[in-house]
Amino acid sequence: MPAPSGPSSTDPKNLFERYQPYRRRAEVGFWVLVMALQAAFNSVVAVIDADRAGRALPAWQPVTWELSSHLVLLALVPAVLAFERRFPLGAAGFLRHLPWHLAASVAFSLLHVAGMVGLRKAVYALAGSHYDFGGAEQWLYEYLKDVRVYALFLIAILSYRLFMLRLQGEARVLDPPEAPAGTVSAPVQEAQTPARPERFLVRKLRREFLIAASDIDWLQAQGNYVGLRVKGHDYLLRATLTDFLAQLDPARYARVHRSYAANLDRVAEIEPLEGGDARLHMQDGTQIPCSRRYREALRV
């Protein structure tokens, strides 16, 4: 049974596209909510544990401990996100980048401890008291907790990315048809010419679509993937931008930026910018950057 054709530009927005305007707020809200709930829960537990141990601690002290810790952890989330983008832990780069993340967990813990100790000392000073963190043994204890938190951050980031990938849709080049038995192979020179895919198979939420390669408006490098803009819809294909461009018609598709390539037939307007750069206005209404070093490609 043939797969249904790709969605047209007049199709109603899918769930992924309807989510996009709220995505940043939802992501920030998620981390804020998780850290706030965790801080509140741990504060209550710390107060109860102190009472059971017979320690006469004012409630503001354990609350300060937990709030300072989780505020710093929340502030470190963007750094973990940026570091994981630089050293992605996908299937292709997991073993290669894992040592970098082990080293990063140490830096993560040092920043966490330094930040929370600074906040605690400030609060204690305002209360007319003194906070003593302890020595290297206490930091080792904190690191054993922080490395688990760092790992949980990465698990949350990777799980969310996988969910968004399923929601957005992942494309792959269709496998070339097998040559019938007894067919004479093409000359070596022709065999070495990279095959240019005519269509892609896109899987999205248990549905499949066939997309014509000629319908790609522009492409963007996104870590281990290439983002394909096709008739107002976005899809991801597991490849590098350089490798994938080698499979497309060079007379139609050209690199215009370190992270972008464009279908030259879909460029509506070139807006010059300072320094020789430019902004490309595409026929679908989107805009992509064009670096000065790639401007020559637009004259082809």
Q: What is the mean pLDDT of residues 70-87?
A: 93
Q: What is the mean pLDDT of residues 269-289?
A: 90
Residue 87, Cα to own-chain centre: how many angstroms? 11
pLDDT band for position 173 (50/70/90)? Answer: low
Q: What is the mean pLDDT of residues 42-62?
A: 83
pLDDT at 184 > cutoff 60? no
User: Strands 170-173 and 233-238: what pairing?
Assistant: parallel
For residues 139 and 113, the answer to whether their CB atoms sit within 8 Å is yes
0.85 cut: is pTM over it? no
For residues 298 and 289, the answer to whether their CB atoms sit within 8 Å is no
pLDDT band for position 76 (50/70/90)? Answer: very high
**Mean of per-residue pLDDT scores for the chain:** 82
pLDDT at 10 > cutoff 50? no
pLDDT band for position 82 (50/70/90)? Answer: very high
Residue written as tokens 């093409």? Answer: 186
User: Would you state the pLDDT for residue 148?
Assistant: 96
pLDDT band for position 274 (50/70/90)? Answer: confident
Of residues 19 and 75, more confidence is placed in 75
pLDDT at 125 > cutoff 50? yes
User: Would you state the pLDDT for residue 178?
Assistant: 43
Whole-number percent of the chain with pLDDT over 70: 83
pLDDT band for position 8 (50/70/90)? Answer: very low
pLDDT band for position 5 (50/70/90)? Answer: very low
Of residues 162 and 287, more confidence is placed in 287
Of residues 205 and 282, more confidence is placed in 282
Q: How far is it, in rounded angstroms, from Cα 61 to Cα 49?
A: 13
Q: 219 Cβ partners below 8 Å, 6+ apart?
A: 226, 227, 228, 229, 241, 244, 245, 253, 260, 261, 262
Q: What is the mean pLDDT of residues 35-51?
A: 89
User: Strands 207-212 and 233-238: what pairing?
Assistant: unpaired
Q: How far is it, in rounded angstroms, from Cα 4 to Cα 166?
A: 18
User: Would you state the pLDDT for residue 127?
Assistant: 92
Q: How far is it, in rounded angstroms, from Cα 70 to Cα 192?
A: 56
User: Would you state the pLDDT for residue 189?
Assistant: 44
User: Would you state the pLDDT for residue 12?
Assistant: 53
